[in-house]
Amino acid sequence: MGLYDEFRFKPASFLPNCNLPLEELERIRNIKREDMEYTNENGFSVKITLQPYSIMAADLFHRIYLSDVEDKPFTFICPNQDPEEYSVVAEMINRNNVNCRNVHAFAMDEWADEDGNVAPITYGAGLGYSFVNHFYMKIREDLRPDISHWHYHTNENKGRGVYSSIIEECGDGGADVIYSATGWPGHTAFVDPGTEEFAADSLEEFLKIGSGLVTETPLTIAENSLFSPMGASGDVWAVPPRAATIGPRDVMNARERFEVHSILNNQAGDSWQRMISRIELYGPISMECPASIFRLGKGTCYVSEAIAKPFKSWYNGIPDWEI
């Protein structure tokens, strides 16, 4: 029995992809585990694995290691907040005496207030704060580069395209790799669908928009209220209303894309990410799901076995953890 067989309804108008046919949503929702892996014509792959974030940490360390032994520049864009992976990579750098002189690291995004003032680097719940304190400062002093190599959003670089231009300057046209994980409305960084700041008349125009300030959508605020920096308690009043973020231009300029889908709400396996992961990876490539543009270039999305689980509990009442 399909979800809409007994009671058909149009999804709420504020949702991204709310105009997709119900049959298309049902198709996306019911993709089987054995059908989820693929590589498309652009060189973008989907792989199912147990621990996507472990693979991301290993990949990032390996690239930093190569930048040292081959004496080549390496520029990357990093998701926030991610202190567990930051600290793992930093420890591997220290244990293996890897010099990071050639590395330029960029934080994806940062909070801003209602007037567009970007959160200071001292803000404890800040994304830049985590990026510097749990990553850069964990690297041994003799191995880490000058702090100017660790880039984060500020009031000085929040203008449209300014942060993007810094990435392009450091990375010879763009980042070598962008690491990311999709959010509840299908955003990458804080590029939310349906916002005035990232409005465009076509996908082609959208892909050219650089970094800047954005007003967060309700789903983004709800999502972030579930994360530890905001108390992990649904405290939507603790989430700043705006953000500074990279833009679609930075995703497209990156020479490689690396995504992880593995967010769980609890040990039972509940997750808000299960459906948006499928919409991004198997639905249309569009501005309605900004993260879907990752599929336009070379890259890999590692999806956890937990996120790849079926939605059967929606239909027969069996708790998710008993499937």
Residue type, 77: I
Confidence check: pLDDT of 284 > 80: yes
Give the pLDDT score at 312. Answer: 63
Distance between CA atoms of residues 267 and 186, nearest Å: 23
Distance between CA atoms of residues 101 and 111, nearest Å: 28
What percentage of the chain carries pLDDT values higher than 70?
96
Confidence check: pLDDT of 262 > 60: yes
Tell me the DSSP string of 140-201. -TTTS--GGGEE---TTS-STTHHHHHHHHHTTTS-SEEEE---TTS-BTTB-TT-STT--S
Q: What is the mean pLDDT of residues 161-173?
A: 98
Confidence check: pLDDT of 316 > 80: no
Give the pLDDT score at 310. Answer: 85
pLDDT digits (tens, 9 = 90+) for 139-161: 999 999 999 999 999 999 999 99
Better-predicted residue by pLDDT, 280 or 270: 280
| Distance, C-alpha 231 to centroid of its chain | 20
Tell me the DSSP string of 193-213. TT-STT--SSHHHHTT--SEE
Q: Which two tokens stand for residue 192?
A: 């939310």
